[in-house]
Structures are given as C-alpha cells and as structure tokens.
C-alpha cells in the first residue's frame, strides 16, 4: 500500500503502464473511425491532454447530484440533494456524446428514505427512516 500511495503522490507510473493524474477530470472519450473507444481527453488545471488506451473504464458515478439529468432520466424532479456532490453524470454525458445507449433507468430508486417538507426542489428533510439492512429485517425494507 505504501508503494501505491508513493506512486499516487508522485504520479510515477507503476511498471510504466499506468499514469495517475490527480486533480484531473475526463472530459471526452476518444474513438477510432469505427466508433470504438480508444482513450480519453483529461483536463488538468485547464490543459486538455489525450490519453490512448486498449481499454477504458468509466467509473465516474451516477447523476443524482445533477437536477437536470435527474429529471431527464427519471422523469420526475429531484426533490432533495442528498448524494455525493460530485455525482453529476459526467461519464454518462461523455458516453452519450459518442452514441452510447443508456439502460436501467427503471432500476433507479429516486428516494432517500426521507420524508420531505415540500415536493419542490430543493426541499429539506423532515424525517428519515433507516433502510440499511444491518438495522432492518429484510421484510421491513
């Protein structure tokens, strides 16, 4: 673990194959002529740098901190901001920009286990119920 931390702090590639850029953001997917993803463009301190790769894994999280994407994808307004603040859908937007199809919208649970004070955005939480399996019996959730 100490080696990984040291490499992360210095940006030194592990075995020459992986570069770690901190304070950077993927802003675009690069594709070949056939449309296959072959890399990303990363923005680091205002400088856009392309990175080519055999494989690209998008791990940017979801969109629950983006009220416009939330309403577009779920079909209902976002009533409360309760997710990780950086889950703004950047990976989804990049993928859609190159023609990717989205699926699983019907699997989204647009609730936070909360009773809100209003049905307009933003609303404050009046009360909250605990849905963690460690705290509730399976048939209660």
pLDDT tens, residue by residue, 88-108:
889 999 999 999 988 766 555
pLDDT score at 4: 46
Q: What is the pTM assigned to this prediction? A: 0.63
Average pLDDT of 23-51? 93
Q: Which parts of the chain are beta strand (E)?
A: 24-31, 37-44, 47-52, 114-116, 125-128
Sign of CA dihedral 62, 66, 67, 73: negative
The CA distance from 134 to 113, in Å, is 15
The CA distance from 55 to 39, in Å, is 8
Using one digit for the tens of pLDDT, what is the confidence trace for 58-93? 888 778 788 888 888 878 787 767 677 778 889 999
């Amino acid at each position: 673990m100490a080696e990984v931390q040291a490499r992360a702090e210095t940006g030194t590639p592990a075995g020459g194959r992986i570069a770690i850029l901190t304070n950077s953001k993927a802003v675009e997917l690069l594709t070949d002529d056939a449309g296959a993803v072959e890399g990303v463009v990363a923005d680091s301190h205002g400088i856009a740098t392309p990175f080519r790769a055999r494989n690209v894994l998008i791990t940017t999280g979801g969109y629950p901190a983006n009220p416009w994407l939330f309403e577009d994808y779920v079909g209902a307004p976002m009533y409360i901001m309760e997710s990780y603040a950086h889950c703004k859908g950047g990976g989804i937007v990049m993928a859609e920009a190159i023609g990717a199809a989205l699926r699983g919208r019907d699997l989204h649970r647009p609730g936070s286990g909360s009773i809100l004070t209003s049905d307009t955005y933003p609303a404050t939480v009046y009360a909250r119920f605990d849905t963690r399996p460690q705290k509730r019996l399976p048939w209660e959730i």
